[in-house]
């Protein structure tokens, strides 16, 4: 429970993918730096990967902030979804309805694990990407990084989970191409709702104008390649296994961009159009409530109270708000 099956991208499949990538990166890193990553750190990393997108609604932080969503207000517009993911996951785990998976840990061990997990999940917010990458580059100027210091361990864990979360371009091309239409369709669904609510459409979220190849090239050049290049300096397997595949996948989309430019005068050449082969999900949701298919009555109540939309936009002042109303209690049931 807790992962929305109808999300094209942020579903349990994405979480399983990230958990696998996290475990692999942690295995490489712990073999190279056993002093920095003990069994408890590895367990914390895999657990953080399993919950890092818990109850993701299929919209990003900027959208929730723009509509003044209750979750954005609760977390003061800072790491909105990431704060919710980790808080909701621990609440679900410790609400007494199921056995505590960490019941055999001491209080000190659990406190340490929880602290590490919270920091790891918050670090997956792309808004923190530049700061985390800059700190990693600074730390690596020291010969003893990563050491047994808590700050070193935490930074390496943060970087590994973040790298796993954006690891699609490190996969074989056939696998990568299965993820791209999913993430783009989720972008486009948000763009559709932004248009409906008279909000500015986020970059690369307009299905009628977005070139998928340009979007993916930017994703690789700005986020993925710089992060893996830095991580490869302390985890050499990243240099031999991940970076060459990133280069090959980038070449694929560079080739697509060249073809798209040649077709630019042809009607319907834009890759992001509704009938594009990149968009197998051809029926975007028009109501936020349709995004959620809870498996239990309790989860339905929680989803409704947390993710119900209350307003359209400040630009529609004076008009009737026809978005679904949040009539559930303000505090979700456990």
Instruction: Average the pLDDT over each of 53-62, 91-100, 183-192, 273-282 and give the range with the smallest value.
Output: 273-282
Least confident of 124-138, 154-168, 247-261: 247-261
pLDDT of residue 141: 94
Q: Check residue 271 and give its pLDDT.
A: 54
Residue with token string 């792309």: 126
The whole-angstrom separation of Cα 82 and Cα 224 is 19
Percent of the chain residues past pLDDT 90, beyond the cut? 72
What confidence tens digit (pLDDT) does each residue in 132-188 have? 999 999 999 998 999 999 999 999 999 999 999 999 999 999 999 999 999 999 999
- In this model, does residue 302 exceed pLDDT 70? no
Q: Is 319 exposed, middle or buried (0-12, 13-18, 19+ CB in 10 A)?
A: exposed
Residue-level pLDDT at 1: 76
Q: What pLDDT is attached to residue 161? A: 98
Average pLDDT estimate for 66-77 = 96
Residue set of the binding site for AMP: 10-14, 53, 165, 216
Report the distance separating Cα 61 and Cα 59, nearest Å.
7
Residue 226 has pLDDT above 50, yes or no: yes
The two structure tokens encoding residue 4: 């929305």
Q: Which residues are annotated as catalytic?
A: 10
Binding residues for Zn(2+): 14, 52-53, 165
Q: Which residue has the tokens 């710089």?
A: 226
Which among 311, 273, 279, 309 has a CA at the least distance from the CA of 291? 309
Q: What pLDDT is stored for residue 305 in this prediction?
A: 43
Mean pLDDT over 287-309 rounds to: 38
Q: Is the confidence at residue 287, as pLDDT, over 50?
A: no
With bands split at pLDDT 50, 70 and 90, how would you rate the model's confidence at 286?
very low
Q: Which two tokens stand for residue 50?
A: 């399993």
Distance CA 229, CA 204 (A): 25
Q: Where is pLDDT greater, at 197 or 267?
A: 197
Which residues neighbour 174 within 8 Å (Cβ) at sequence distance 6 or greater?
none
Nearest CA-CA partner of 223 in 147, 284, 168: 168
Domains of the chain: 12-266 (1.10.1300.10)
Which among 44, 205, 195 is positioned nearest to 109, based on CA atoms? 44
Average pLDDT, rounded, for the chain: 83
Residue among 37, 45, 317, 78 nearest 162 (CA) = 45
């Amino acid at each position: 429970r807790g992962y929305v099956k109808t999300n094209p991208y942020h579903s349990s499949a994405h979480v399983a993918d990230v958990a696998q990538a996290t475990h692999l990166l942690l295995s490489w890193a712990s073999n190279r730096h056993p002093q920095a990553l003990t069994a408890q750190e590895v367990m914390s990393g895999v657990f953080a990967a399993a919950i890092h997108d818990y109850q993701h609604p299929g919209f990003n932080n900027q959208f929730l902030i723009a509509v003044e969503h209750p979750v954005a207000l609760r977390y003061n517009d800072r790491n909105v979804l990431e704060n919710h993911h980790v808080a909701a996951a621990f609440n679900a785990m410790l609400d007494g309805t199921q056995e505590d998976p960490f019941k055999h840990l001491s209080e000190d061990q659990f406190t340490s694990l929880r602290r590490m997990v919270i920091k790891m999940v918050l670090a997956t917010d792309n808004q923190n990407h530049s700061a985390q990458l800059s700190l990693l580059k600074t730390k690596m100027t020291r010969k003893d990084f990563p050491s047994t210091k808590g700050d070193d361990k935490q930074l390496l864990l943060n970087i590994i989970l973040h790298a796993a979360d954006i690891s699609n371009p490190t996969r074989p091309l056939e696998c990568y191409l299965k993820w791209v239409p999913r993430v783009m369709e989720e972008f486009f669904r948000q763009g559709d709702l932004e248009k409906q609510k008279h909000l500015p459409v986020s970059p690369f979220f307009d299905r009628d104008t977005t070139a998928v190849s340009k979007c993916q090239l930017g994703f690789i050049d700005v986020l993925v390649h710089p992060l893996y290049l830095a991580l490869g300096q302390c985890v050499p397997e990243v240099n031999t296994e991940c970076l060459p595949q990133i280069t090959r996948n980038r070449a694929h989309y560079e080739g697509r961009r060249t073809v798209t430019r040649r077709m630019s005068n042809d009607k319907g050449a834009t890759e992001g159009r509704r009938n594009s082969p990149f968009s197998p999900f051809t029926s975007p949701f028009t109501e936020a409530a349709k995004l959620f298919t809870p498996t239990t009555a309790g989860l339905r109540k929680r989803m409704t109270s947390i993710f119900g939309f209350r307003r359209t936009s400040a630009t529609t002042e004076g008009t009737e708000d026809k978005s679904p109303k949040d009539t559930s209690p303000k505090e979700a049931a456990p």
